[in-house]
Structure 1
Amino acid sequence: MKLALVRQKYNPYGGAERFVERALGALEGQGVAVTLITRKWKDGAQDQASGRQVRVCNPFHLGRLWRDAGFARCVRRIVARGEFDLVQSHERIPGCHVYRAGDGVHATWLELRARVQSPLARWFTRLHPWHRYTLAAEAAMFRDSGLRAVICNSAMVRDDILRRFGVPAEKLHVIHNGVDLDFFHPGLRAEHRLAVRRQLGIPDDAPLLLYVGSGFERKGIPQLLAALASLPAALHLVVVGKDKKVAAMRTRAVRLGLGERVHFLGGQADVRPWYGAADVFVLPTLYDPFPNAALEALACGLPVLTSPGSGAAELVTPECGAVADALDAAALGRAAEALLALDPARAAAAARAAAARCALPDMTARLLALYAGLAGGRRPV
């Protein structure tokens, strides 16, 4: 059986791309040959040198809508030629055999986003051509007769697809993202805590919250800053991630009197030192199907504060996390204080146990089992 994975573009800080990289590495480690179909993925020459097959689909385009539609047409032509037994798409493209709903349901995201939009912005979103195209492509994809399976990275996403689109339950498979438990581990605390804090001028004993992610407004930075303003002055927040509105968030932090307590570090190729330095991981996101960063934080022994719109809420227990409304700054503040009051050793053990449910080998085994089932028992080669 020949397997192809479809993802438009590589973003070194993107959770979906990190999943694809992990999945590729894990599958290749099992002797599976996978072709990646993409517009742009890291360094094509480097991928070819490593033996990875990369198929570039990048037709001429102007604007996001034309880009996505052109890429979809290119992929559908490849699928129609029948050269792959299974094509798994990470984009909303009708006609692929398997869809991994790593980005969740676009219709749900727009509904949740409306909570923080003005009436004019909501009206503009409803009429925006790209959103209309994406909603139509999403609905067509789930109705397509060629769709054999949907990989949902959380039960939240599975239930949403079932409710909105009526996809048969037997086609919906919950396979959480996998985390490398050897790469992300509680030992990072002893290795990095003091050095990273001193680098930023944060006292060794100061409570430290950590946020990792792009899309600051979607993932709750404004509410997080408001919550921080009501918490003890000794508390610090580190923000790791790229965002075009970082300057606006810096200004907001200063206006709230947090200029010395909030540290915007931009994107980081290796986030492990920051996991090691922190006491609590925070991601009060409006919508995130299953954030890799929350899973990595749990693996590192950090309690996690997230929201009902996050698939990671399925993993946390009172012993290692809390769930609060993404737009309720007061509730977020109370939850953060409660997590900071947990016994560190017990919280780390509970967090690690939660992450162990998503070990990378388990994800690989479940993917391979799914592919074999779809191919009548044949393993990908």
Structure 2
Amino acid sequence: MKLAIVRQKYRPDGGAERFVSRALSALSKKTDLDITIITRQWENNSQANYNVITCDPSAKNRLQREVSFSKNASKYFSSFDIVQSHERIPGCTIYRAGDGVHKVWLEIRSREMNFLQKIALRFSIFHNYLLTQEKAMFEHPSLKRVICNSEMVKEEIIENFSIAPEKINVIYNCIDTSIWNPDLTVNYRNLMRERYNIPQQAMLLLFVGSGFERKGLDIAIKSISAHSNVWLMVVGNDTKSSRYIKIADNLGCKSRVIFAGVQKETPPFYAMADALIQPTQYDPFPNTILEAMACGLPVLTSQKCGGKEFIDIGVNGFVFDALDWKSFSNAINSLENDFDFDLARKISYEKIEKLSPVFISENLYRLYNEIVENI
């Protein structure tokens, strides 16, 4: 079986990229799968059992980059039995909606915009191109299956496009519990806190991810500002990081907000934390929630995060409107007082325990065979 996986670019801290990497690692062990990555740029892995086709035509801006990659990548589609795309390219066999629904994201994004910003967004050539691609792809006759990483995204696709619900499969991201697990606390909690000068008795919330605006870092900072014994560790990067440092400074909590930057090895950061806070405006299902739960952490997140499906409210986390920083702050107050962290650790780990790379790869493999049998 010849399988092509389409993803423009590999970024070490990218959720979609990590999904592809983990899936490739497991799927490449299937001897009857001939796997090829179609990409602009991918990590160099000499041990990998797959091929790479590079499509990186010159482009002056992001619109040209999207258009040229789509056109060049799609030229190869006919050479494969199955094309699993992680980009919005009409004509693929499988689309993995790891980035969610662009139409929904634009609606959410406009919530905090003024009138002129909304007009600019409405008539953006780039965003209108993506919307056109998205609709054409979901309603293309070549599309046999859509893989969602949350029920939330599945519902959004059904609501916004003419597509049969039976075409949509929910396959959650995988998590390797040999890397992320509650036992990490013993080895790293004290060590990491000493490294970053965080008091051992302080409550530490972890924020992971790049693209601070969408992931709600401003809300996370506001949420901890009134809690003098609560610190925030930020793992990730943003071109506008200085804006968030200024927010922390204005709120009087700058000394309790640590910016660690992008980290290739993130498990020690989960081990040092008491909870994960991810007040994202929109996220289909961030890997960081699986990683946090694997490490036994409770999770504070938003109603537009697919990870909410794994949260028993008040038991192993809390879910609020992404902009409601006061509710997040009240939840932090609960964490400081009567929260049962032992129960949260047990429930969080149980929620994700079965989502191993092997389990996910078997689900994908069955899906591929089903599609090939019906082509």
Normalised-by-shorter TM-score class? over 0.9
Percent identity of equivalent pairs: 42
Partner of 1:304: 299
Q: Which residue of 1 aligns with 2:289?
A: 294
Q: Please, which of 215, 232, 235 is the counterpart of residue 237 of structure 1?
A: 232
1:338 aligns with one of 334, 338, 345: 334
Q: Which amino acid aligns with 1:161?
A: I
Matches within 5 A, 1:76-155: 76-79=74-77, 82-155=78-151
In structure 1, C-alpha distance between the alignment counterparts of 2:98 and 2:333, rounded to whole Å? 31
* Corresponding residue for residue 70 of structure 1: 68
Matching residue's letter, 1:342 = F
Question: How does 1:176-191 map onto structure 2 within 5 Å?
Answer: 176-191=172-187
Change (3 A) 1:51 1:355: closer
Q: Distance in 1 between matches of 2:50 and 2:356?
A: 24
> Which residue in the other structure is 1:41 paired with?
42
Give the match's secondary structure for 2:232.
strand
Q: Distance in 1 between matches of 2:49 and 2:21?
A: 14
Report the AA paired with residue 13 of structure 1: D
Matching of residue 274 in structure 1 with residue 275 in structure 2: no
1:255 is aligned, of 247, 250, 266, to 250
Alignment partners' CA distance in 1, 2:114 and 2:268: 38
1:377 Cα deviation after fit: 8.1
Runs of 4+ in 1 over 6 A off after TM superposition: none
Match of 2:371 in 1: 374
Which deviates further from its counterpart, 198-207 or 360-369? 360-369
* 2:351 maps to amino acid: A
Show the counterpart of 1:352: 349
One-letter code of the match for 2:62?
R
CA deviations over 1:288-309 (Å, ceiling 9, x no partner): 0010001110001000111110
Contact 2:224–2:332, Cα closer than 8 Å, also in 1? no
Greater mean alpha carbon deviation, residues 94-103 or residues 333-342: 333-342
Letter in 2 for 1:267: V
CA contact (8 A) 1:87 1:96 kept: yes
Q: Is the 8 A contact 1:280 1:336 kept in 2?
A: no
Alpha-carbon contact 1:209-1:238 (below 8 Å) kept: yes
* Residue identity in the other structure for 1:17: E
Equivalent-residue separation in structure 2 for 1:317 and 1:36 (angstroms): 38
Q: Aligned-residue CA RMSD in angstroms?
A: 1.4
Partner of 2:16, secondary structure, is helix
Code of the residue aligned with 1:282 in structure 2: it is I
Structure 2 counterpart of 1:15 = 15
More off after superposition, 330-339 vs 256-265: 330-339
Distance 1:30 1:206 in 2: 47
Tell me how far 1:342 sits from its aligned partner: 2.1
Q: Which amino acid aligns with 1:371?
A: Y
Would the aligned equivalents of 1:303 and 1:339 in 2 still touch at CA under 8 Å?
A: no
On the 8 A contact 1:302/1:347 being kept in 2, the answer is yes
Q: Matches of 1:229 and 1:50 in 2, distance apart?
A: 46
2:27 maps to which residue?
27
Q: Secondary structure of 2:163's match? A: coil
2:261 partner amino acid: G
User: Residue deviations 1:308-357, cap 9 Å, x none?
Assistant: 10000001113211101110110011122324442222211111011124
Aligned mates of 2:223, 2:49 — CA distance in 1: 48
Q: 1:181-230: per-residue Cα shift (whole Å, max 9, x none)?
A: 11110011111000100111111110000000111111111111111112
What one-letter code is carried by the residue in structure 2 that aligns with 1:223?
A: I
2:180, 2:266 → 1: CA distance?
10
The answer to whether the 8 A contact 2:25-2:48 is kept is no
Deviation, structure 1 residue 239 = 0.4
Deviation at 1:39, TM superposition (A): 0.5
The number of equivalent residue pairs is 372
CA deviation after TM superposition for structure 1 residue 23, in Å = 0.7
- Rounded to whole Å, the distance in 1 between the matches of 2:352 and 2:18 is 17
Q: Which amino acid aligns with 1:101?
A: A
* Kept after mapping to 2: 8 A contact 1:321/1:339: no
User: Secondary structure of the equivalent of 1:326?
Assistant: coil
